Amino acid sequence: MGELFVLTEGIIRDLVGFGEAELKAVEAVYPLISDGSAVMPDIMRIDVEAHNGEIDVKSAFLPGYPGIAIKVSAGFFNNPKRGLPSLGGFMVVLDAETGIPTAALFDNGYLTDLRTGLAGAVAARHLARPDSSRLAVLGAGVQARFQVQALRLVLAIETVTVWARRRERAEALARDLSDQLGIEVRATDSVEAAAAGADVVVTTTPATDGFLKQNHLRPGQHLTTVGSDAELKRELGEGIFDLVDVVVVDSLRQSMRLGEARSAVAEGYDPEGLIELGTVVAGKHPGRTSPEQITLCDLTGTGAQDTAIAGLTVQRAREQSRGDVVIT
């Protein structure tokens, strides 16, 4: 019926990364979420308790975009015992006008990591103080690394502090990032020490205990939370939403179900205070209005980002004639 591009991780990493075009591609989706023109169904989840696994499916149709991504993320937590990574995934892109598959991107979750990192940069561009230079990252996994890389696209980051529950992981990431980026990156012993001197704080953990407390925050900070994307997860302790001056979420519906807004609202925060990132990106809400304000953006991760980053990947694969072509 047609030509289908099959792309594997190595090629995909060659095609897209931390560039301005990728950042713009991700940024552009938020106004479409907020003005209701994106068609974005609730996440499909398949719990595979027998194998300590979970599968999430996300998707979105964005008007004017040539493709629709169906994105599958897999987290199988017995994998490390077999020498395999816990997290994986892939995307398939359908032609938005015909529904015919045009590309299969076996990226092992790279595109999800990338678009999530870039979302952090979008949030910081619109909410952090423009002179922010000191970054704190809580968590030391792939997303901690990607947040740092992405934030450098929008802020002149000079120092990074890393905290993780396991000190040795924070130290390993600090060494890696320091070598890779040529900036000062150091591990710290406590959430408080990490956050205290930072202009931007990013949480990237699978925590369920709300480890970031009110007394960890300082006036003028911007906080992005990336970890919470499921009913039981939370990185923010009680009362953080009340302390924050501008509370932004990537998707109201998702954050209320799966993100930090879920627990905050359950504890009494008025959901009327929640602002969608797209309204700020579109200039319909001013975001931060003074250097003293504390701003927050809760990112749950959207199918719209997947459709955008997959679309850019396929466009470049076509332009560069990369990937296998299968006649379907």
**Taking CB under 8 A as the rule, does residue 53 contact its own copies?**
yes
325 binds its own copies (CB under 8 A): no
Confirm or reject binding of residue 76 to its own copies (CB under 8 A).
Answer: yes
Listed residue (225, 223, 218) closest to 292, CA to CA: 218
- Taking CB under 8 A as the criterion, the residue among 21, 84, 156, 266 binding its own copies is 84
Determine whether 58 is an active site residue: no
Task: Specify the stretch interacting with its own copies by CB under 8 A; choose among 43-51, 219-227, 264-272, 287-295.
Answer: 43-51
Q: Does 293 bind its own copies (CB under 8 A)?
A: no
**CB nearer to its own copies: pick between 97 and 179:** 97
Is residue 326 part of the contact set for its own copies (CB under 8 A)? yes
* Listed residue (7, 237, 225, 21) closest to 116, CA to CA: 225
The structure tokens listed for 152 are 């450098």
φ, ψ (nearest 5 deg) of residue 263 = -70, -35
Instruction: CB nearer to its own copies: give 290 or 321.
Output: 321
Which uninterrupted H or E stretch holds 187? strand 184-187
* DSSP designation for 61: B
CA distance 293 to 96: 42
Residue 36 is a binding residue for its own copies (CB under 8 A): no
The span from the CA of 30 to the CA of 302, in Å, is 9
Is residue 294 within 8 Å of 243, Cβ to Cβ?
A: yes
Q: What span, in angstroms and rounded, lies between the C-alpha atoms of 166 and 118?
A: 26
Q: From residue 90 to residue 129, what is the string marking binding to its own copies with x (rule CB under 8 A)?
A: x-x-x-xxxxxx--x-x-x---------------------
**Parallel, antiparallel or unpaired: strands 53-60 and 44-48:** antiparallel
Phi, psi of 292 (to 5 degrees): -85, -15
Backbone angles phi, psi at 220, to 5 degrees: 90, -10
* Cβ-based nearer residue to its own copies, 94 or 200: 94
Which C-beta is closer to its own copies: that of 100 or that of 266? 100
Which residue, 43 or 246, is less far from its own copies as judged by CB?
Answer: 43
Distance (Å, rounded) from C-alpha 248 to C-alpha 190? 26
Look up residue 271 and give its amino acid.
P
Looking at 18, 28, 79, 175, which residue binds its own copies (CB under 8 A)?
Answer: 79
Q: How far is the CB of 94 from its own copies (least distance, A)?
A: 6
Number of residues that bind its own copies (CB under 8 A): 50
Kindly compute the dihedral angle of the four CA atoms of residues 188, 222, 266, 39, in this order, to the nearest 10 degrees.
-120
Tokens representing residue 172 in the block: 């390993």
Q: Which residues in 208-247 contact its own copies (CB under 8 A)?
A: none
Query: Nearest distance from residue 74's CB to its own copies, in Å?
Result: 3
SS3 state at 128: coil
Q: What is the smallest separation between the CB atom of 300 and its own copies, expressed in angstroms?
A: 16
Least separation in angstroms between CB 80 and its own copies: 11
The active-site residue, picked from 24, 58, 71, 81, is 71
Q: Which residues are catalytic?
A: 71
Which residues contact its own copies by CB under 8 A?
A: 1, 4, 6, 8-9, 39, 41-42, 44-51, 53, 55, 57, 59-61, 63, 68, 70, 72, 74-76, 78-79, 82, 84, 88, 90, 92, 94, 96-101, 104, 106, 108, 324, 326-328
